[in-house]
Chain A
C-alpha cells in the first residue's frame, strides 16, 4: 500500500495528466485505505485542479487540456463523493448556485469553475445552461447560497445580468447573496454597474475574489 501522501499526490497528478483510468484506480485505493473521502478530494483531486490552474496561468496548457483535467476530476469525484460522511459536510466554505445565463448555451467556463470551486471547499449547485431568472430565484430560495454565479460567455448575454439583479431586488433576495459573473465577455467594472458584486475572467481568479467578498462580509 502506498503512503497516504504519495497516494493523494498520484491522485492529483492523474488529474493533471487527464488520466481517467489512473484517477479511478487511485480513488479506489484511497477508499480501500480508509482515507476520508473529503480529504482525498481536497488534497488529491483538488490539488490536481490547482496545478492545472497554475499551468494555465503560465500558458503551459490550454482549454482542451483543462477540459480533459476537469473530466478526470469528475471521474474521481464520482467514486469519492458518495463516500463523504455526513459529518464532513460541515466544512463547506459557502454555497454557490451556478448556471449559464439565459440566452447562452456555452458551458466551458462553468464546467471548469465548478471543480475549482469545489476544490476550494465551496458547495456548488449546478443549474445548467440557458438558466432563466425564475430558476435562479427558485434556487436561491431553496439552497440559501452565499453566491449566485452567472456564466456569461457572450457580451450579449452579459448584458442580461442587469435584468437578473432587478428581479432579485423585486423578490427581496438581492442583498442575501453575492452575484458574481464569469466568462470571457465579463468586465468587473461593468458588472458592478449592472448591480452585480464582481466578475472574473477565470475560475482561479474567481476563487480569490469570492474569498475576499466572504472575508468582507464576515469581517
Chain B
C-alpha cells in the first residue's frame, strides 16, 4: 500500500509540476463549455440541461484520456527509470494502481473544474439535477475506463505518441464502432451479435447512466472494463522482465 501511495504521489506531482495537468484541464473545460454555449442549441432549446455537454464526453475523453496517460509507462521505458522501479520492493499491481489513480485524479480534477457549467445553468433556470449528477458519475466511470485503456497502451511502447495513437484507435472501436446504431443494423442478421456489439461498446452504458439511471449493469461494465485494462497493463509490465 505504501508503494502504491509513493507512486501515486510522485505521478500526481509530476502532472502538476509540469503543464500537462493544467493544459489538459483547460482544454477539457474549454472544449466542453464551447460545445455547450457556442452551440446555439443550448439557447435555442432554452432548456436548463447539460445533455449537449455530456453528449460530447465520450469522444472528448477518448482522445484526451490518452493524453494524460501516454507518458506513464512509455517514459519509464524510454528513460530507463523502469529499471529502478523494478528494483524497488513494490509489486507490479501496486505500480499499476498508483499510476492509474494519479491519472484518474487529474481527470477527476478536470471534471470538478467544469462545475461552473451546472452552476451557470442553475442560475439560468431550474435544471433537473438527476441527469446532471448521472452525467458526472457516467463521465467519471467512462474516464476511468479510458484511463485504464491508456495506462495499458502506454506500457506497450517506449514512444508516447505511438502509445497514445493505439489508445485512440482502441477507443474509437469502443466509442464509434461498437454502438447501438451498428447493433440496429446487424440485428436482422444476428440478434446475439447485435446484443454483444451494444453491450461491449461504451455508448449504450454511458447513455443510460447519463440519463440519470444508475443501473448495476452499466456501472459494472465500466468497472470491469477498467479492471480488464489494468490487468493487461500489469501483464505487459511483467512480460517486460522476460
- State yes or no: do A and B come from one complex: no
Residues of B near any A CB (own CB < 8 A): none
